[in-house]
Amino acid sequence: MSNLGTIATDRRTLLAGGAAAALFTPGLALAASGDLPAIRKAAEAGYAASVKRIQDWIALPSIAAENLDMEKGADYMAALAKDAGFQHVEKVATEGAPGVFATLDVGAKRWMGIYFMYDVKQYDPAEWSSPPLEARIVDKPGFGKVIVGRGAVNQKGPQAAFLAGLHAIHAAGKTSPVNLVLICEGEEEIGSPHFRQIVTKPHILAALKKCEGVIIPAGWQSPSDGGVTVNLGAKGIVELELVASGAKWGRGPKTDIHSSEKARVDSPAWRLVQALTTLVTPDGNNPAIDNYFEKVRPLTPREKELIALAGKQLSEADAKKALGVEHFIDDLPWEKTLERLASQPTVNIEGLVSGYTGPGGKTVLPGRAVAKMDLRLVPNMTAEDSVAKLRAHLDKRGFADIEVNVSGGYDPTETDENSRLIKAELATYKRNKVPTTIYPRLAGSWPGAVFTSAPVSLPAGQFGLGHGSGAHAPNEYYVIESSNPKVQGLVGSTMSYVDFLYEIAAAK
C-alpha cells in the first residue's frame, strides 16, 4: 500500500467521538450458522501460531525496488497459501517479479477475491528501535502488545490475520462460506508495473470474473474510537522523475563542473526549476499542466453529500494536529479541504536532487537535476493520458529535453456504494458497532483500478478490523493484543475477516 498509508489511517484517527466498538459481534450468517463459537475458539487456540506466522514472514523481506528476494518471496507466499488451505496455488511469472494466484473452491455459491502483496518498503535499521526483520513483540503504551517490523501493518500483519481466519475455520472443522481467489503481487511498493500481466492471464481473469469483488486486508481502526473509513474508490497516481541534464539537453555540462563556469555555461538545475514552475499555479497548489483537468469528472451530488457528512464527523483541529499543519491552503473551510482531498488532482514534488546534497556547500554547477514527482488522478483521468499531457506541456514550452521517467502508477478506482462488497463491509462494521465514515475517494492510491476497470471490472476496496501504523516509516507496528477496548487485536481482526466472508455468502 505504497500510497494508501497515512491518509486512511490519519483520517480515521480524526473521527470525533462515536460509539465504542464493543466485543466482537458476529454477523447473522455466522451466528446463525452455529460455526462461531468453534471458529473463535480455534482462532484463539491458533493465536501463537498466527503471531509466529507474521514474524516469520517479516523475517523474509522482498523489496522490489532492490530486486531483493523476489522469487523467495513469491515461493513463501505460495507456501502460505497452500498452508491456509488453498487447493490450487500457482506462481505467476511476469516481466518483473512473479505473482501468486491461488483458489479455494469449496463448492460454495459465491466467490470472493483477496488481494495480497508480498513485497515491503525499504528500511534503514539505524532508524528503528528494534531490528526491522526481527518482528519483536513490544508493549506499546495505549495500544497493547504490538509486532514491530517492516511489513507489520503494510501488509503482512493484516494479510496474516486473514489467513489465520482460514486456519481457524479449518481447525474448527468448518468450511469457508465462500470460494476464494487469492491474487498476489510482489511489486506493489514500486507502483505495480506488471500486475495487469497477472490478472489478465485468461484462467486468472476467468477466476476473478466469478468473484463478488476484491478486498485488500487493512488494519486501519482509529485508536481514538475504533472507527473505520470505507472509501468508495481511490485516486490514481503516477510516480515519475523529471530529469534535466546536460547530456540530454546538449547544453550545460554532462557532469558536475566547477561552479565558476556558471558565468558562461548553461545550468540543468536552473532549467529544471524553470520547467517545474510552469507545472503549477504560482501558489504551488493547483496543477497548471495544459488540459490537465480536461477529463476530470466533478463530484456528484451524492459524493458531496458524503463529504458533508464526513466533515461533520471529522475534527479539523485533530486533522491539523495529526498532519502538523497550521493552515490548509488558502485557509479553506474544513469541508472544502475534504472536497479537495477527494476531488482535486495534484502535482506534487516528492523530492529534489541535484548536484551536491551533503552538509554545507560545494562549488559545483551540476550536470543533472531531478524532481521526483507524483501526480494524483481523479476519475476520469488516466495515468497514461496524464503523462502524455505532461509531456506535451513540456514540449510546447521548449522543454523537450527534460526526461519524464515514469516509475509506476495506476488509474483512479471507483466502487459502487450499492455493490454487495461495500454493503457487506458496512453491514459487518455496523454489527460490530464500529463507527464508519463513508468517503467518496481515498486521496491516497492503490492498484484497485486493476480490479475495478476492464477487463476485471469488479468492486474492490479495503476491509478489516485491527490496527497498525508506520507504513514506510521506522518502527512500523501491528497490534496483536489490544489494550484499547475500541480496537481489535489479532484474534478480533481474524474474526472480522471470517465474519465478512459469512456476510458475503449470506448477503442479498
Q: How far is the CB of 285 from a second copy (least distance, A)?
A: 7
Output 300 or 363, the one with its CB closest to a second copy. Answer: 363
Burial (CB < 10 A; 0-12, 13-18, 19+), residue 335, is middle
Q: How far is the CB of 325 from a second copy (least distance, A)?
A: 5
> How far apart, in Å, are the Cα atoms of 273 and each of 60, 260, 277, 281?
41, 20, 6, 14
Q: Minimal CA–CA distance to 197: which of 54, 93, 334?
A: 93
Q: How far is the CB of 501 from a second copy (least distance, A)?
A: 30
DSSP string of 423-461? HHHHHHHHHTT--EEEES-BSSB-TTHHHHSTTT---EE
Output 300 or 457, the one with its CB closest to a second copy. Answer: 300
Cell triple for 182: 487469492
Q: What angle do CA 95, 97, 98 make, to 5 degrees?
A: 95
Output 419 or 469, the one with its CB closest to a second copy. Answer: 469
Q: Minimal CA–CA distance to 2: which of 147, 171, 185?
A: 185
Q: How far is the CB of 417 from a second copy (least distance, A)?
A: 21
Output 319 or 427, the one with its CB closest to a second copy. Answer: 319
Output 137 or 273, the one with its CB closest to a second copy. Answer: 273
Q: How far is the CB of 191 from a second copy (least distance, A)?
A: 8
Output 85 or 474, the one with its CB closest to a second copy. Answer: 474
Question: Rounded distance, CA 327 to CA 460, Å?
Answer: 34
36 forms bridges with which residues in the sheet? none
Q: Are the C-beta atoms of residues 7 and 220 closer than 8 Å to each other? A: no
390: helix, coil or strand? helix
Output 378 or 456, the one with its CB closest to a second copy. Answer: 378
Q: How far is the CB of 445 from a second copy (least distance, A)?
A: 7
Q: H helices within 105-201, ranges in order? A: 157-171, 195-199
Q: How far is the CB of 214 from a second copy (least distance, A)?
A: 21
The residue assigned the cell 472443522 is 173
